[in-house]
Amino acid sequence: MSVVRVTLPDGSAREYDREVTPLDVAKSIGSGLARAAVAAMVDGRGVDLTTPLVGAVALNILTDRSPEALEILRHSCAHLMAQALKRLYPEARFGVGPVIDNGFYYDVDIDHRLTVEDLPRIEEEMHRIVKENVAVERRELAREDALEAFRRLGDPYKVELIEAIPAGETISTYAQGEFVDLCRGPHVGSTGKVRHFKLQSIAGAYWRGSEKNKQLQRIYGTAFFSEEELETHLRLLEEAKRRDHRRLGRELDLYHLQEEAPGMVFWHPAGAVIWRQVEGYIRGVIEQNGYQEIRTPMIVDRSLWERSGHWDKFREMMFTTESESREFAVKPMNCPCHIQVFNQAVRSYRELPLRLAEFGSCHRNEPSGTLHGLMRARNFVQDDAHIFCTEAQIGPEVIAFIRLVFEVYATFGFGVPLIKLADRPAQRVGSDAVWDRAEQALRDALAEVGASFELNPGEGAFYGPKLEFSLQDSLGRVWQCGTIQVDFSMPERLAATYVGEDNHPHTPVMLHRAILGSIERFIAVLIEHFGGAMPPWLAPVQAIVLPISERHRDYAVQVSARLAQVGVRTEVDRHDEKVGAKIRNAQLRKIPYMVVVGDHEQEAGTVAVRLRDLGDQGSMEIDSLIKRITTAVRSRAIEL
RNA sequence: GCCGACGUAGCUCAGCCGGUAGAGCAGCUGAUUUGUAAUCAGCAGGUCGCAGGUUCAACCCCUGUCGUCGGCUCCA
């Protein structure tokens, strides 16, 4: 009998002179750990608690507190659901059933067309299987045996999956009672461990993601280790629904979309205020950071797009128009136009880096099925800029840009963004040496500002590597907004040059960069982040004056005029309603400052202030209110 | 773009087996003169997404189309 030597995450080691499993090890450490154990990592690989350990291994027992364990639980829950489905629909054949962010899904091929009404029945069956507490057992088998087994089960999808598994890789199945599934594992030890779950929705999904294949029914669900966590998660989803920018956009009268212009936004006065504030703020920031704003045409002759390469690659995404036998395209991006501005003069190296910025309105004919409110539109405005520079200037420019992104996101009330470095894809232009230097410049810039990042291997653009900046909203959702991309290709294609110190022409490097990305989309993120309750500087109406009764209207108008004089966006509520109703309306419109005026205030020349988030503040001088509002607005405070 | 569901008043939604549409909120008018999340009453508001078809008769059934929603795919 060989000796098993186990090293635990804390560095301690244990030796066993008999066959042991992770569960045995857990038991030998403590019964509490054994109870909490879900699965284990052996040398970085997930295994079942019952997998025998061999030789010297690094063991990490996963308990219900480890993030990896949650994925295992959800994966086991997917199997549990599949078993229930098989019981209810014996003809069921299964595609893939992976874990995804916040849950899992399983693709199933059954004759019955599922609706959400079927979900409770499936859940019921799942709970029954949980009660049965069936053991989940792993079996490893030879490829031929596996193929044979699933052929016998009549599961063509699984057969296809096995065929795709590279030779030499272990093929394993997991059985729980009468149900067997092809699976790498690991899994929880028995169905009784999966208790807190919810099936959420049904959607169509093609087998292997190709529309040429049969469409399967995909059932989404989620699972947690405790009922509280499950409920918290479900509440979060409810909250996300309440904050949906499409719903708030209508309720707050910010914008609308209509059939005649699919994917293109009609901004209402209130929404346009938010827009102007966002744009104005960014304009100020870039002015202070050495950018020059330009404006370029929206419709440009086809020949420019041919030269830039867009016509070849993205023609079907471009709107075109025609006049006097010439074909034009509505710009899908601003860079070719910016290069035209660059090219209008003989540029010297002394002018670099040259930073040209534009709030450029772009149109892309996105597939109809992908449109989503402001988040994915066919017409959107980028806070775009192109920095023309030398290769040596990439580093400093990227550093400055990262700092700028951090500053801007913080202003909007977001924390430090998540950063991804997308490096060279298989299909690319430019020599490896140039890519090496550009990627290194991005890494060095990140190190210089002390920013941590994740690598996104092979996801760079064909023309250069890029950084992507994602912010996290108040519900913990991640939105990619900012980006900076190195471009070795387009300046050359469009013949951009500058005269170097050596008196010879050189091709500049171009950096594409945006902080917010699409302003439409960024506003949508803001709406959802704040749940429509915008900070004072962004609020369409900052202060609404509420006269107690009709006889206070004149005074209300005076107060409102005073506020307007100092630049506060204000209104008077002239409805013939009780204050309670006016407060309610103002509150529903999420107006930050409510200014109540009645007999007391009129006589004393004061105002009674109610804050959206903090309630009644009592009476104060009008000047105090003005100071309070203008201070909050000027500092772009998030809190009132 | 693909699959599915949906499209009725400004908004949210009812509308049975095919017999020419209804509520609440919002709006308007009147009464009320209001003190921190909804005062009462009346009135007005509709080519039932659009185009065809079936039928004596279509919001309802059929076909097409546009849009929206949920996914899939895509996202320079």
pTM for this one?
0.90
Whether the CB-CB separation of A448 and A399 falls below 8 Å is answered with yes
pLDDT of A235 reads: 87
Nearest C-alpha neighbor of A92 from the set A75, A77, A111, A78: A111
Indicate if CB(A128) is under 7 A from strand B: no
Does A162 have pLDDT greater than 80? yes
> What confidence tens digit (pLDDT) does each residue in A105-125 have?
998 888 777 777 778 888 989
Residues of chain A (294-323) having a beta carbon less than 7 angstroms from strand B: 310, 313-314, 317-318
pLDDT of A539 reads: 97
- Distance, CA of A576 to C1' of B44, in Å: 19
A603 closest-nt by C1' vs CA: B35
Helix, strand, coil: what percent of chain A each, to 5? Answer: 40, 30, 30
Residues of chain A (472-491) having a beta carbon less than 7 angstroms from strand B: 485
Whether residue A386 lies in the annotated active site: yes
Which H or E element spans position A76?
helix A67-88
Whether residue A466 lies in the annotated active site: yes
DSSP A486-507: EESSHHHHTT--EE-TTSSEEP
Instruction: Name residue, tokens 């945006």.
Output: A514
Of the candidates A196, A338, A347, A364, the residue annotated as catalytic is A364
Of the candidates A217, A382, A485, A542, the residue annotated as catalytic is A382
Whether the CB-CB separation of A389 and A397 falls below 8 Å is answered with yes
> What confidence tens digit (pLDDT) does each residue in A230-280 have?
888 888 888 888 899 999 999 999 999 998 899 999 999 999 999 999 999
Indicate if CB(A206) is under 7 A from strand B: yes
> What confidence tens digit (pLDDT) does each residue in A425-483 have?
888 888 888 889 889 999 999 999 999 999 998 888 888 899 999 999 988 889 999 99
Q: How far is CA A222 from the centre of its chain?
A: 19
Whether the CB-CB separation of A456 and A420 falls below 8 Å is answered with yes
Whether the CB-CB separation of A102 and A248 falls below 8 Å is answered with no
Average confidence (pLDDT) over A137-164: 84
pLDDT of A272 reads: 96
Which H or E element spans position A298?
none
Does A153 have pLDDT greater than 90? no
Of the candidates A74, A347, A466, A590, the residue annotated as catalytic is A466
- Distance, CA of A259 to C1' of B54, in Å: 29
Give the CA count within 13 Å in the CB-facing half-sphere of A303.
1
- Distance, CA of A344 to C1' of B37, in Å: 60
- Residue A292: pLDDT band (50, 70, 90) is very high
Indicate if CB(A360) is under 7 A from strand B: no
**Residue A39: Cβ-neighbour burial (10 angstroms; 0-12, 13-18, 19+):** buried
Tokens of A56: 């010297």
Nearest C-alpha neighbor of A486 from the set A507, A510, A469, A514: A510
pLDDT of A62 reads: 84
Whether residue A335 lies in the annotated active site: yes
Q: What is the ipTM, given to two decimal places?
A: 0.93
> What confidence tens digit (pLDDT) does each residue in A22-59 have?
888 877 787 777 777 888 888 877 888 888 777 777 77
Average confidence (pLDDT) over A614-626: 95
Q: Which residue is nearest to nucleotide B73 (CA to C1')?
A: A209
Q: Which nucleotides of B are covered by protein (CB under 7 A)?
A: 1-4, 7, 11-12, 27, 30-39, 66-76
Q: Would strands A99-100 and A266-267 be described as parallel, antiparallel, or unpaired? A: unpaired
pLDDT of A1 reads: 52
Whether the CB-CB separation of A484 and A466 falls below 8 Å is answered with yes
The fold adopted by the segment(s) A543-634 is Rossmann fold (3.40.50)
Every domain of chain A with CATH number 3.30.980.10 lies at: 68-242
Residues of chain A (608-637) having a beta carbon less than 7 angstroms from strand B: 608, 610, 615-616, 619
Whether the CB-CB separation of A586 and A593 falls below 8 Å is answered with no
Of the candidates A48, A107, A310, A335, the residue annotated as catalytic is A335
Whether the CB-CB separation of A620 and A265 falls below 8 Å is answered with no
Indicate if CB(A242) is under 7 A from strand B: no
pLDDT of A137 reads: 86
Average confidence (pLDDT) over A544-570: 96
Indicate if CB(A366) is under 7 A from strand B: yes
> What confidence tens digit (pLDDT) does each residue in A559-612 have?
999 999 999 999 999 999 999 999 999 999 999 999 999 999 999 999 999 999
- The whole-angstrom separation of Cα A605 and Cα A555 is 9
- Residue A2: pLDDT band (50, 70, 90) is low
Whether residue A384 lies in the annotated active site: yes
Does A501 have pLDDT greater than 60? yes
* SS3 label, residue A607: strand
Q: Would strands A103-109 and A215-224 be described as parallel, antiparallel, or unpaired? A: antiparallel
Indicate if CB(A574) is under 7 A from strand B: no
Tokens of A429: 């232009």
Q: Would strands A171-176 and A179-182 be described as parallel, antiparallel, or unpaired? A: antiparallel
The per-residue pLDDT of chain A, averaged, comes to: 90
The fold adopted by the segment(s) A68-242 is Threonyl-tRNA Synthetase; Chain A, domain 2 (3.30.980)
- Distance, CA of A104 to C1' of B53, in Å: 45
Every domain of chain A with CATH number 3.30.930.10 lies at: 273-293+331-530
pLDDT of A578 reads: 94
Q: What is the DSSP letter of A393?
A: G
Indicate if CB(A207) is under 7 A from strand B: no
- Distance, CA of A218 to C1' of B73, in Å: 15
- The whole-angstrom separation of Cα A14 and Cα A342 is 68
pLDDT of A90 reads: 85
A610 closest-nt by C1' vs CA: B36
A315 closest-nt by C1' vs CA: B76
Indicate if CB(A132) is under 7 A from strand B: no
Whether the CB-CB separation of A46 and A72 falls below 8 Å is answered with yes
Q: Would strands A4-7 and A292-293 be described as parallel, antiparallel, or unpaired? A: unpaired
> What confidence tens digit (pLDDT) does each residue in A358-394 have?
999 999 999 988 999 999 999 999 999 999 999 999 9
pLDDT of A145 reads: 84
Q: What top-level class would CATH report for the domain A4-63?
A: alpha beta
> What confidence tens digit (pLDDT) does each residue in A315-346 have?
889 999 989 999 999 999 999 999 999 999 99
- Distance, CA of A320 to C1' of B73, in Å: 24
pLDDT of A359 reads: 97
Q: Which residue is nearest to nucleotide B2 (CA to C1')?
A: A211
Indicate if CB(A250) is under 7 A from strand B: yes
Whether residue A355 lies in the annotated active site: no
Of the candidates A93, A386, A506, A589, the residue annotated as catalytic is A386
Indicate if CB(A587) is under 7 A from strand B: yes
The fold adopted by the segment(s) A273-293+331-530 is BirA Bifunctional Protein; domain 2 (3.30.930)
Neighbour count for residue A619 (Cβ, 10 Å): 16
Average the pLDDT over each of A216-225, A442-451, A490-499 and give the range with the smallest value: A216-225
Angle between helices A119-132 and A67-88 (to 10 degrees): 110
Indicate if CB(A373) is under 7 A from strand B: yes
Whether the CB-CB separation of A466 and A485 falls below 8 Å is answered with yes
Q: Would strands A255-256 and A196-206 be described as parallel, antiparallel, or unpaired? A: unpaired
Percent of chain A clearing pLDDT 90 (strictly above): 57
Q: How far is CA A622 from the centre of its chain?
A: 43
Tokens of A169: 């890789």
Indicate if CB(A461) is under 7 A from strand B: yes
pLDDT of A213 reads: 75
